[in-house]
A and B are shown apart, each in its own frame.
Chain A
């Protein structure tokens, strides 16, 4: 928030307990609240959309079916036949992040995907599921992948640590990508919004000038809509790619 002549662009990410003493006792902040809201919106979208069970679907049912088909196609096309069993997880991941990103764009709301702790928790879940899947489908031969095939054995002291490092960096890059995108977008929105307020305080000239950051913010909101979808998609498709490696190799 703009206070005086300074811009507090990061204050928006602070967590506050909600519902009074309940929130304080159970460490329940806005983030979990918006997680609940996002999940509820997605579930309501599916339940209400599929309620008619029509052979010829209406708009909402068609939208629900399209989102189902989209994620199903994503999972099965990328992971392969075994992708069907991972499909609910990919669906949950994609729509949890997408709803979080989009609901966070509403004024006075909160974006839980702008917290590295949340995105890292999601990424580490994907990472652990990938490792467990790899061990289940490949057994101990999973560890062979850390030594690239055909590489000279002499290079293994260098190659194996690099491969392990690159494997371990997956959840980090996965989580930081989403987190950084969300933070950057919301900081920009906040900064330009603050400019509007500051310039509006300058009188007639300022009122005229204040339109510029406002217009920019509208454009930024459009951009954020794109980024929000794109980041959810990237998170989901990278999860699919990691799972395919776990299933296939």
Chain B
């Protein structure tokens, strides 16, 4: 074929003639008496119904099951995580409370020990002081008693010494007079002393 005006015309003609041809020969889709066209509709109905039944009874529920299973699993995992977090929070709270309580208990124990110790020390100190006081008093009484005893025995010793001296000197001794004299001297001495 050559690129002649005649050819160009003939090439363009079908485009222009298309509607005309369609009317002339008719679109195959409009040959409604064509048994194949009628059969196509019947077959189409059968195929579409089978397609629909397979989809609705088998294929689509399968997809739905998978999607639902995934949602359920994600939900349960989320629940699990949420529960774990709640447990952890609870545990932490309990730990904090326990720590606070232990701290309070320890403080109370320290306080009570401190008080008990202080009381014990005070009581002990008081007891010691009282004992010392009593011992001092006892000692003082002992001293006074010893002193008195000593003072009392002075007269006797002096009398017996005077009697012995008098007997040696003069041969005789008036024991009563000597005792009286000693008594007087002692009294005078005591006055002097005191």
Contacts and interface: CB of A to CB of B under 8 A. Distances in A.
B1 A65 contact: no
B60 A46 contact: yes
Interface residues of A, number: 58
A205 B51 CA distance: 51
A35 interface: yes
Contact of B29 (A5, A69, A115, A194): A115
A121 interface: yes
Contacts of B38: 27, 117
Interface in B1-28: 1-3, 7, 10-11, 13-15, 18, 21-22, 25, 27-28
Contacts of B52: 88-89, 92
B44 interface: yes
B34 A43 contact: no
B39 interface: yes
Contacts of A179: 29
A112 interface: yes
Contact of B59 (A9, A46, A191, A205): A46
Interface in B114-133: none
A13 B63 CA distance: 36
The binding surface of chain B is classed by DSSP as helix
A6 interface: yes
B36 A117 contact: no
B36 A50 contact: no
A50 B51 contact: no
A32 B47 contact: yes
Contacts of A53: 65-66, 69
A88 B50 CA distance: 12
Interface string B26-49: 011110101111111111110110
A47 interface: yes
A37 to B, nearest CB: 10
B54 to A, nearest CB: 6
A68 B13 CA distance: 48
Interface in B93-124: none
Interface residues of B, number: 49
Interface in A1-50: 5-7, 9-11, 13-17, 26-29, 31-32, 35-36, 39, 42-43, 46-47, 50
A118 interface: yes
Contacts of B63: 46, 50, 64-65, 68
Contacts of B85: none
12 contacts: A11-B28, A13-B27, A27-B42, A28-B43, A29-B36, A35-B43, A35-B44, A46-B60, A117-B40, A118-B44, A121-B44, A125-B48
Interface of B: 1-3, 7, 10-11, 13-15, 18, 21-22, 25, 27-30, 32, 34-45, 47-48, 50-52, 54-56, 59-60, 62-67, 69-70, 73
Given A68-B64, A114-B29, 18 more contacts: A5-B11, A7-B15, A10-B22, A11-B28, A15-B40, A28-B43, A31-B40, A43-B51, A53-B65, A53-B69, A88-B52, A89-B52, A117-B32, A118-B40, A122-B48, A183-B29, A191-B18, A195-B11
